[in-house]
Structure 1
Amino acid sequence: MVYAADWSSCLVDGAATFKCLEPIFENVVQAITALVGVVLFVMLVVGGFNFLVSGGDQKKLEKARGTLSAAITGLVIIIVAYLILKTITALTGVDVTQFTVPE
C-alpha cells in the first residue's frame, strides 16, 4: 500500500507543474477514505453500545437505532459509489479512479 504519492515526476527544473495535482489528489482521496472508515467504525461501535445499554428505554433505543441506521446507510452509499465507479471502468475501459493531468 502506498501512503504518499511520488512527487518527483511533477517537478521540472525544481518548479512545480500541473502534474503535482495528481499526487495531491491521490493523497487527499486516501486521507478522506481513511477518515470515512474510522467514522463508520466509530458510529457502529457507539450505536451498538447505546443499543446494548438502552435498558429497554424506548427513547435511547430509537437513538441507537438511528445511529446504526445512519452508519449502515453510509456504508451502503460508499459501496454503491464504488460499484458505480467500477462499472463505468468496466463499460468504458477508462479507469475513472485514476486522476491524471494530460501533458
Structure 2
Amino acid sequence: MQKLTTVTDTFQITGWGLVVVPSPFVGTYDGPGERRVSLKMPDGSSKEATVRVEYVFPVPTPKVPTWELIFRDLVKGDVPIGTEIWDLASPTSSLAPT
C-alpha cells in the first residue's frame, strides 16, 4: 500500500464530489484514473472507497503540479480531518483507464 495523504481539509463541490487536500504531487503518483483506497480515520476505524485521481489546471499554475483526489460517493462527514488515505493497489500498478 502507498500512503497518498493525510487530510487537512475537504471541499464538497457540486457536480464533482468531495475533494480532499493536500493532494499527491504528479511526479510521485500515477494518474489520472480511479483507485480503491483505504480511509484510516483519526478514531482508529477504517473503510474502503473509490477515489478519482484527476489533474486540474489551477490558476495561477502551482510550482509543483498535484493530482486532485475526488470522492464522488462521499460527503464531508465521511472523511474527517486527519484521515489517512492509502492506495490499496501496488504502487507500481497502473490506474484503470478512464
* TM-score bucket (shorter structure): under 0.3
Q: Structure 1-normalised TM-score?
A: 0.19
By relative contact order (CA 8 Å, sep 6+), the higher-ranking structure is 2
Q: TM (normalized to structure 2)?
A: 0.20
